[in-house]
Amino acid sequence: SRDSVYAKITALKRQGEVSFISNGALLLTVPDNLSSEESAHFCLLQHEAPKDVLLIGGGLGGILGEILKHPVRQVDYIELDPKLVSMAEAILPLGISRDFKNAKVSINNSDGRFFVRTTSNKYDCVIINLGDPLTAQLNRFYTKEFFSQVKRILNKQGIISFRLSSSESYINSDLSRYLGSIYSVLRDEFAQVKV
């Protein structure tokens, strides 16, 4: 366990898996190949030639390695807490932690919203790998204002991608309103929205 400016971070290792917990909430468990592959490839395969990628959060679980399987030129990885990155480098298997040091990867310890608002860079793909907007901290990444800022930094054929909890077979009224509100905000900003 380590205390950072942002949280108490705990790493638990058991039977080849490492789980990171921040202030009592599970952040991620490594390895999680399915989530890493889906988060990276669903987005990058939609673009004909992704070169510049912005990854906001969640880069510690293997998604960087999946992104680097594509012929990208640059991956800007935004992770708020530098203590989380340093713990991951020390604890995670070499293959995953080696991705942090890849020459194509630039790790920026900054708030993702602040980075998007202030950067002059343009991206082919923006992957928001933060999970559901269940807290005030995460909710800020699913607003009309944030999506408008992301649109500003996308290249002409650019793609934004993120995942939300859902159900394959049944969507109750609460889940319907939740997903519908985010879908409506996206439709206000982007010409195409694919689920």
What does pTM read for this prediction?
0.95
Gap between the Cα atoms of 66 and 75, Å rounded: 11
> What distances in angstroms separate CA 99 from CA 2, 113, 157, 180, one per listed residue?
23, 24, 27, 36
In this predicted model, what pLDDT tens digit does every residue of 61-108 receive, in sequence order?
899 999 999 999 999 999 999 999 999 988 987 778 889 999 999 999
pLDDT tens by residue, 5-17: 999 999 999 998 9
Arithmetic mean of pLDDT, 148-165: 96
